[in-house]
Structure 1
Amino acid sequence: MVGVLEGFTTIAIIVAVGWLLADRRVLDDSAQVNLSRLAFHVASPALLLTVMQRTSLAAVLSANLVTSLISFTIVVGVYLVLARWRWAGGALGSRLIGSLSAAYVNAGNLGIPIALYVLGDVAWVAPTLLMQLLIITPVSMALFDSDARGERPTLGRSLRRMFSNPITLGAVAGLLIAVFDIHLPRVVAAPIDLLGAMAVPSMLVAFGISLRRGPRPATGRAAGHVWTIVVLKTLLMPAIAFGVGIALGLRGEALFAVVVTAALPTAQNIFTYAVRYRREVNLARDVIFVSTFVSVPVILAIAALFHGFAGV
């Protein structure tokens, strides 16, 4: 269980640095926006390229991947139904932020260390990482771009937007490098690795600034919306993953891995997207903040149950 606490503690410290810098007026709201832009346009694409080219493609066709995709789809569907009934749906970009907040897991900077220390192998989180990078992110980026331009999403427009977005381009470039077994020269690979290393710290520092400069998380009229999404993310999604995994024949460590991965909190990427497209920034920030804290006891409880009853 040390791995769970180590992963969350690392994130908390970097967020606290952002909060402190904002409190001391070293960084302000403009720094939050600029850090988010840096992460979106440069650092995240570089990180995705690096991750994709080093990830085994054998995970693509696994039952783990199918379980993650089905779980994501069901949770998004539940959220959209609730949003239409309770919060009148909202604009496309707003529904996208809500949907991603409810189902897009922190498989990178939290999932990787937890996979290593709790599951024993980083490969367990690879299917979810691939699913999010190669399917969910490109489609979401195309829809965000259409919403930002006030266009009605069509297949042609979505495809054009999909392959002109830096996030998508980074993931696709990494996949092509892996598929064709291309070895980048060190003079090219080293700068990409260095730029990619800025992605997570940039997102977390920007997030810390927003906690200091914005309203208190999960307060006021938006509290019900935030807590509904947190429940979907941290409780419903792992429960669905467990049921789907059982139905697909997963048992033991494989089932444990998909349930723990589904219980991970909302990814910081969603806050970056919210800032970039100016949609539901406070909602994304609050869900990430609350789900991160809530997911700690949830993941610890899942681990205890599996170790106690399944002998994992």
Structure 2
Amino acid sequence: MSSIATALLPVFGVIFVGWLLRRSGLLPDSSWGPISRLAYLGLSPAILFTSIARADLSSIQLGPFMLAAVGGFLGMAAITLAIRPLLNIPGPTYTSLFQATCRWNGLLILAIAISMFGTEGEVLVALIMAASIPLVNMECVAALSVWGDGAKPDWRSVIYRILTNPLILGSGAGGLVNLLDIPIPEPAWNTIHLLGQAALPLILLAVGAGLNFTAMKARPRLLGLSVFLKLIIAPLVFYGLGLALGVEGVALTVLLLTGASPGAASAYVLAKQMGGDAPYSAGDITASALFCFITIPFWLWLLG
């Protein structure tokens, strides 16, 4: 079995188990939302903290790597804005297309990077998540404030919610500990580490449970466009920027994986809150998750 399959099959396998659990009715449908929130908001900050707190950042091409990552997210926003005049779709639907091309499922890519590259992959994805969470949320809220049907956002409230996002707090605390070399007692470290280890299996199960094939019937042609932009164009953008800036090795592959990530469930939540096209967002989340089972192995194989 190839190294790519060896790394990806456990991750995709847990997603499939999540889908089976949802289909089996072992847990009521209403339980999956709280499970996802627990993993995302309650446990995931711990894995970001432990990833960054003791990382050897001196071994990473940190400047070019982070510049390529941020440039990738800005580049996808620019591409989606550039095609806006060509699309004969309502404003709220466009905001969901914007979210589909600009958001990424960082925790899914974190699981893949850990499976493929261990601690090095974990640190690199954690750093991108720390930078991308405020950036992508600001991009998407701005798009919804212009073209969405909801009330215009209170930007002070938006910025406050972003800055107090548990993932931002977890990664920020990890960076502070790393920068100041703050000692963490082993019992406390082991507790935080154990909490973080529980996050990824729950996230992957929730991804599988959230697959909604009925939702893919909403705007199928537009779904094809958003999946193409996210799973085909975005990897090229991130990888191309990495190459241009001299990023190499595992870091370059992580950039590729970041671009190749499917959409995130938070797009559906924000679409409902701020007047986007929530059914289309739900369809895109499922479609991009399904097709990434093909495109991620393809990109990794092509990269060699």
TM-score range, shorter chain: 0.7 to 0.9
Give the aligned partner of residue 133 of structure 2: 137
Distance in 2 of aligned mates of 1:95 and 1:55: 36
The residue number in structure 2 matching 1:25 is 25
Provide the residue aligned with 1:72 in structure 2: 73
Distance in 2 between the 1:245 and 1:220 partners? 36
Whether the aligned pair in 1 keeps the contact of 2:73 and 2:136 (CA below 8 Å) is no
Identify which range, 76-85 or 27-36, moves more after superposition: 76-85
CA contact (8 A) 1:60 1:130 kept: no
Given the alignment, which residue of 107, 110, 114 partners 1:108?
Answer: 110
Distance 1:301 1:195, change over 3 A: same
State the secondary structure of the residue aligned to 1:6.
helix
Moved more, 176-185 or 227-236: 227-236
Counterpart contact for 1:142–1:161, Cα < 8 Å: no
5+ long unaligned stretches in structure 1: 117-121, 304-312
Summarize the Cα distance change of 1:49–1:7 in structure 2 as closer, same or farther, 3 Å threshold: same
Cα drift, residue 106 of structure 1: 4.8
Q: Kindly state the Cα deviation for residue 153 of structure 1 after the two structures are TM-superposed.
A: 5.1
Cα distance in structure 1, aligned partners of 2:73 and 2:80: 11
**Scaled by the length of structure 2, what TM-score is found?**
0.78
Distance in 2 (CA, whole Å) between partners of 1:298 and 1:230 is 15
Matches within 5 A, 1:208-287: 208-211=208-211, 214-216=212-214, 219-250=216-247, 253=249, 257=253, 260-262=256-258, 264-266=260-262, 270-271=264-265, 273-274=266-267, 277=270, 278=272, 280-287=281-288
When normalised by structure 1's length, the TM-score is 0.76
Decide whether aligned partners of structure 1 residues 276 and 52 sit closer, same or farther in structure 2, where only a CA change above 3 A counts: farther
Q: How does 1:111-190 map to 2 (within 5 A)?
A: 111-115=113-117, 123=120, 126-127=123-124, 129-131=126-128, 133-141=129-137, 150-152=151-153, 154=155, 156-190=156-190
Would the alpha carbon gap of residues 105 and 84 (structure 1) be closer, same or farther in structure 2, given more than 3 Å must change? farther
Amino-acid identity (%):
21
Pairwise CA distance, 1:285: 2.9
How far apart in 2 are the matches of 1:137 and 1:51? 16
Residues 240-299 of structure 1: per-residue CA shift (max 9 Å, x gap) = 34443443345x6478536644554327xx22x246545533422321221232221222
1:278-297 residue pairs with structure 2 within 5 A?
278=272, 280-297=281-298
- Whether contact under 8 Å (1:105, 1:266) holds in the other structure is no
CA distance in 2, matches of 1:206, 1:18: 6
Instruction: Report the Cα offset of residue 5 of structure 1.
Output: 0.9
Give 1:9 shift: 0.5
Task: Tell me the distance in 2 between the aligned counterparts of 1:67 and 1:33.
Answer: 33
**Aligned equivalents of 2:63 and 2:175: distance in 1?**
17
Change (3 A) 1:61 1:255: closer
Paired with 1:259 and 1:80, the residues of 2 have a C-alpha distance of 22
Q: CA deviation at 1:95?
A: 5.5
Q: Is the contact made by 1:107 and 1:128 (CA closer than 8 Å) also made in structure 2?
A: yes
SS in 1 for 2:203: helix
Q: In 2, distance between residues paired with 1:294 and 1:53?
A: 32
- Equivalent pair of 1:103/1:237 in contact (CA under 8 Å): no
Quick check: 2:77–2:98 contact (8 Å CA) kept in 1?
no
Gaps of 5+ in 2: 273-277
* Counterpart Cα distance in 2 of 1:102 and 1:83: 20
1:157 Cα deviation from its structure 2 partner: 3.6
User: How many Å separate the matches in 2 of 1:254 and 1:47?
Assistant: 20
Residue 21 of structure 1: CA displacement?
1.6
Q: Distance in 1 between matches of 2:46 and 2:126?
A: 15
Aligned AA (1:237): A
The question of whether the paired residues in 2 share the 8 Å contact of 1:101 and 1:287 is answered with no
How far the C-alpha of 1:73 sits from its partner, in A, is 1.6
Aligned residue-pair number: 289
Kindly tell me: are residues 22 and 128 of structure 1, through their superposed partners in 2, closer, same or farther at Cα, counting changes over 3 Å?
closer
Match of 1:94 in 2: 96
CA contact (8 A) 1:41 1:167 kept: yes
* Contact 1:15/1:204 (8 A) holds in 2: yes
For each residue in 1:184-231, what CA deviation from the matched residue of structure 2 results, as whole angstroms up to 9, or x when unmatched? Answer: 2122222211221121111111122223xx3257x4243333332332
CA drift at 1:160: 1.8
SS at match of 1:152: coil
